[in-house]
Amino acid sequence: MKKTTKIGIIICDRYRTCAGGKCLRALRNKEGAFSMYTDTDLELVGYTTCAGCPGGNIEYTGEEMVKNGADVIHLATGMLVGYPPCPHIQTFKDFITMRYGVQVVVGTHPIPQKYLDLHTGLGTWSNPSWAPLIEQAMSDEQTRKAYD
Q: Is the pLDDT of residue 132 over 70?
A: yes
Predicted confidence band of residue 2 (pLDDT cuts 50, 70, 90): confident
DSSP string, 58-102: HHHHHHHHHHTT-SEEEEPTHHHHSSSPPTTHHHHHHHHHHHH--
Q: What is the pLDDT of residues 10-55, one digit of tens each?
A: 999 999 999 999 999 999 999 999 999 999 999 999 999 999 999 9
User: Domain 3-146 classified CATH 3.40.50?
Assistant: yes
The one-letter code for the residue type at 30 is K
Q: Which pTM value belongs to this model?
A: 0.96
pLDDT at 1 (0 to 100): 67
Q: What is the pLDDT of residues 59-118, one digit of tens each?
A: 999 999 999 999 999 999 999 999 999 999 999 999 999 999 999 999 999 999 999 999
Cα 51 → chain centroid: 15
Phi-psi map region of 67: left, alpha, beta (phi>0 left; psi -120 to 50 alpha):
alpha
